[in-house]
Amino acid sequence: MKRLSLSLCSALLLAAPPIAAGLVPAETGLGWKNGWVAEWKGDVPGLEVRDTSAKVRDGLVKVVRRWTWTGKEPLEKATLSVRYRVDGDAKALKPFMPGILMYGNPSNKGRTDGRVPVYAGEKGEFAIFEEHRLPMPFVLLEDAQSGEFVAIHTLPSPIRGAVREDLWWSAGVEARDGGADIVMLSGPIGYNRRRSVAKARQGKAKVYDETYVTLRPGQVVEKTFWIQTGKATKDAFGFEQAMDVSLDLFKPYRADCYEPMERIYRVKRDYAMTRWMDVPAAADGSSRAACGFNMYDCGDGMTDVYERAYRRREIVLGWCGCAATCGYALPVLDVDKGDWVKAQRSLDFISDTFGATIRPADGLFCVRYNLDNGKTSGGDPVSCGQALNCVVKAIRFAERSGGGRLDPAKWRAFAEKSLDAIAASILKPGWQEPKSTNAGFLVAPLVAGSEIFGKKDHLAAAKKLAAVFERRYFGYDAVYWGGTLDARCEDKEGAYAAFQGYAALLRNAIAAKDAAAERRYSRLARHSMNMMLTYTMVWDATYPPGRLSDHAFKSTGWTVVSAQNQHLDAFGVVTTPDIWWMGKYLKDERLTRLADVMYRSCFQLTDASGSLGEQIQHTNFGQRGDMSDVYRLRGGYAERWTVFWLTAHFLNAAADFKVMNAE
């Protein structure tokens, strides 16, 4: 991978010393035509451009580029730029933009409809996005053949003089003959071969035009960025090395500005009790007694049509319902003695009701019970795996620390029957491999099952399933995808599904004193964890006037959902115990501190009743509401979409921390 040498970094008289091979002379866009810059100029009379630099450490240089407009009249319709040129096979240069474009999003190869950004290094391709869309603000090009990589880390910022409200710098990649460029522009964006469009909805792009600026006489614009160069190895791919630098640059570890953990889980526990349902059997025998935690908010506060459509009484396992979580978390957290009773009854009901629906062929079961008609439905690896993981954790707690206050007999029967069938299905000849990482959520309960029930086939099935993800995703040709809702794109939950499984196998290997297995799963757990962590905000974006600004919202610690769903949510909370544990295992204090921030930051928008919504619009993306003006999408959130996982994940993680005796 060859790089150009730097010649001049000034548009007028100011020559700079070589900063980093590949940083090209400054160009300025003038005019606007057909939705893009009309022309690029290397020398604009009256515009002074100067770069200053400082070496941070080997392979990392800090650069500040300054533009000064000395003209007597405004310079209108201008576009400022930074460009780093990388030579090589454009198709081998894999781009990585956290939360947006992981190695080009290979699982969506060939798609140009706008649902998911794609990039394969073909002639005419580009992928340029608003900086506030980047959770870890860097753009990387990694040569899949040589391992050499370049990452440009940027200090995200809006730009003064924009014709559009709330216009920020943009960053991305452009393919060209003989290589590709990493670019930063003062506003223009586009992807999937379409100029001036924003990834603004789940299924399509929206026009985002006229993103130029006007420079006033005497105006100074500065852009701060860091250039990182290095070489990928099997022990640390380029994106992992860039992630390390991003953590070191932004230091997202301040936790003292958030609520303490004990208050958080107590508030969430109290809110969970508002979802408790205890329904007696119908007198006419049409329905039986039922109890548990409702997925939906059935309170009188629901007013609009969208919310009333979800005014249902349903106990839902996994996914958005997480009805099994409290059966594990409530006794561990031990806030009130009545919580133990509810935990026992809820898991007994789940074991009886859903255990009866276990399919002998694959061990999966229904995951939805409607209290109004008594019917069960659904069933998928994600929800079944998440539910089983809570059940086996509850069994362990009851048998090790429950003091005889819990009877896990029904839970054991339910979990063992399901895991037996799941393991048999995976181990049978002709087993069909899963198409996405959604089945990764089965690995952790299978590992636990091997330990609780003493069944070697459970562990063998877990290893076989994990090997599929190892073969498929430990490289450049595919990225963890399809964990939950976004089953056809690169996905944070998909990365966590793999990470959770690898972490369980790593703990098992350590306990068994199997050094070879420990080395293997340690590397895989770190790779999948790091991929998942690149979806995590390490900086606090600023917002236009609106809900997030009203709350003085801090985005650090929240996580982008996926390449398709470009909003923040609190799902990362449930991952924090595994991140914390890996920090202890790897002796990396950054991870333990980050886990603390992630857990506590995601409580911010919880209201006085303990309710928390989701779909935080940190960028120009929305899922519902008025989306007629793409320029005004930032700064809101779906406060009334309060499905139970938004409470359950806080309780689940807090219980895990307590079981691990986390300080």
Give dist(CA 358, CA 50) in Å, integer.
Answer: 68
Kindly state the greatest CA–CA separation across the chain: 91
What the block records as the tokens of 385 is 């795996």
pLDDT at 641: 85
DSSP state of 233: B
Give dist(CA 201, CA 208) in Å, integer.
Answer: 13
Contact 550, 628 (CB under 8 A): no
211 pLDDT above the threshold of 50 = yes
Contact 79, 212 (CB under 8 A): yes
Q: Give the angle 449-450-455 at the CA atoms, nearest 5°.
A: 115
Beta-strand relationship, 75-87 and 93-97: unpaired
Contact 366, 354 (CB under 8 A): yes
Give dist(CA 598, CA 586) in Å, integer.
Answer: 19
Give dist(CA 400, CA 187) in Å, integer.
Answer: 58
271 pLDDT above the threshold of 60 = yes
Long-range contacts of 251-257 (CB under 8 A, 24+ apart): 252/536, 252/537, 252/538, 252/539, 252/556, 252/557, 252/594, 252/597, 253/590, 253/593, 253/594, 253/596, 253/597, 254/556, 254/597, 255/593, 255/596, 255/597, 255/600, 257/554
pLDDT (tens digit per residue) in 411-451: 999 999 999 999 999 999 999 999 889 999 999 999 999 99
SS (H, E, C) 173-241: EEEECCEEEEEEECCCCEECCEECEEECCCCCEEECCCCCEEECCCCEEEEEEEEEEEECECCECHHHH
Mean pLDDT of 160-188: 94
pTM of the model: 0.94
Question: What is the number of alpha carbons within 13 Å of residue 91 lying toward its C-beta?
Answer: 4
What the block records as the tokens of 413 is 């029967």
Give the phi and the psi of residue 318 in degrees, each rounded to 5. 60, -165
Give dist(CA 149, CA 105) in Å, integer.
Answer: 18
Give dist(CA 56, CA 50) in Å, integer.
Answer: 19
Contact 175, 256 (CB under 8 A): no
Domain locations in the chain as residue ranges: 52-61+81-211+225-250, 253-288+536-663
Q: Name the band, by pLDDT with cuts 50, 70 and 90, for residue 112.
A: confident
Who's near 201: CB < 8 A, 6+ residues apart? 621, 622, 623, 627
pLDDT (tens digit per residue) in 563-621: 999 999 999 999 999 999 999 999 999 999 999 999 999 999 999 999 999 899 999 99
pLDDT (tens digit per residue) in 272-290: 999 999 998 877 776 789 9
What the block records as the tokens of 351 is 């074991």
Give dist(CA 417, CA 397) in Å, integer.
Answer: 20
Q: Name the band, by pLDDT with cuts 50, 70 and 90, for residue 15.
A: very low
Amino acid letter, residue 348: D
Beta bridge partners of 377: 368
3 pLDDT above the threshold of 70 = no
Contact 138, 147 (CB under 8 A): no
Q: If you search the block for the tokens 């399919």, which residue do you land on? A: 359
Beta bridge partners of 149: 142, 230
The Cα-based distances of 192 to 175, 251, 567 in angstroms read 12, 33, 20
Q: List the alpha helices (DSSP H) in 214-319.
A: 238-250, 261-273, 305-308
* The dihedral formed by the CA atoms of 501, 502, 508 and 511, expressed in degrees to the nearest 10: -140
DSSP state of 520: H
pLDDT (tens digit per residue) in 290-311: 999 999 986 554 444 445 556 6
Give dist(CA 536, CA 556) in Å, integer.
Answer: 8
SS (H, E, C) 178-190: CEEEEEEECCCCE
Give dist(CA 176, CA 21) in Å, integer.
Answer: 18
